[in-house]
Amino acid sequence: MFVIIGIVVVALSVLVGFMIAGGNPLLLIQIPEFIVILGAAIGSILIASPLSLIKKIIAEIPAMFKGHGFGKQDNLELLKSFNDLFLLAQRDGLLAIEKHVENPKESDILSKCKKFVENDIARNFFADTMKVMLSGGVPPHELENLIDTEIETYEIESKPVPGAVSKVGDSLPGLGIVAAVLGIIITMSSIDKGAQVVGEHVAAALVGTFIGVLVAYGFVNPIASNIEHSIEGRVRLLQTIKSSIIAFARGNPPIIAVEIARRTIFSDSRPSFAELEAFVRGKS
């Protein structure tokens, strides 16, 4: 929601300010300039990025608008589902939770946290780790090393995504200058056609620079920052899941395991100890 609001605020601020100053917004619609700048930007990212990275970038854009972050209520549901699952394992043995781990979406315990079961990365991370734990013979410290390796791999794999988007943003002002120079070339070839024609061509050329700078600093670079924060949030979610699993694997009671996990959650979406205790006991 805030992404959409931000885009609208940037666009309206520029347009309203331009109109108050006496500008005609129709003058900003210069299709050739858009084609040069956006086409060159798309081409540059195709040159610089492998297909796998381009797919990740495309996947991040709609996810940014959906807002897949976990809020306080989501974290309460997540920790309660882990607590209930660990209680079942403690009471009936690890094999009792096998069906829940094999298919979390159909689990009457894990499916209570909808954001968790709908999050492919978090769901598969938890399920795969629990399967290793169910197989037996893996001590907690080795399980922790295994999880750390997967989290590190995810971070390394995801890091180029915001970087690639940011590089496109950094290149846009330069591409705007390219469009402006092309416009000046056209202007110089039309210099004998009168001041009005020359003025129109110069205005169109300057729009190229304007578009390049605006799109770079008003949209693309902020989008890159948003993607970076989103990835950091996902890594933190994996760390929370890791903490609960490792704490339980070391023999801690389920409520202690989820309390350890609670403390890894960022403060803006972390439930308090009392809130978690009440929610686990079904008092809220």
In a domain, 8, yes or no: no
The string of pLDDT tens digits covering residues 54-105 is 999 998 888 887 766 789 999 999 999 999 999 999 999 888 999 999 999 9
Count of structural domains within the chain: 1
* Cα–Cα distances in angstroms (integers) from residue 182 to residues 27, 104, 171, 178, 199, in the given order: 18, 57, 17, 6, 15
pLDDT at 68: 60
In a domain, 11, yes or no: no
CA–CA separation, 23 and 173 (whole Å):
22
pLDDT at 147: 95
pLDDT at 153: 95
pLDDT at 75: 95
In a domain, 143, yes or no: yes
pLDDT at 203: 84
In a domain, 4, yes or no: no
DSSP codes, 203-244: HHHHHHHHHHHHHIIIIIHHHHHHHHHHHHHHHHHHHHHHHH
CA–CA separation, 97 and 104 (whole Å):
10
pLDDT at 283: 62
Q: Could you list the residue range(s) of the whole structural domain that residue 176 is in? A: 31-284
- For the chain, which ranges sit under pLDDT 50? none
DSSP codes, 13-61: HHHHHHHHTT--GGGG--HHHHHHHHHHHHHHHHHHS-HHHHHHHHHHH
Token look-up 């938890």 returns 126
In a domain, 84, yes or no: yes
In a domain, 5, yes or no: no
CB 95 within 8 A of CB 134: yes
In a domain, 239, yes or no: yes
User: How far apart, in Å, do the first and last CA atoms of the chain sit?
Assistant: 28
In a domain, 199, yes or no: yes
pLDDT at 67: 65
CB 157 within 8 A of CB 178: no
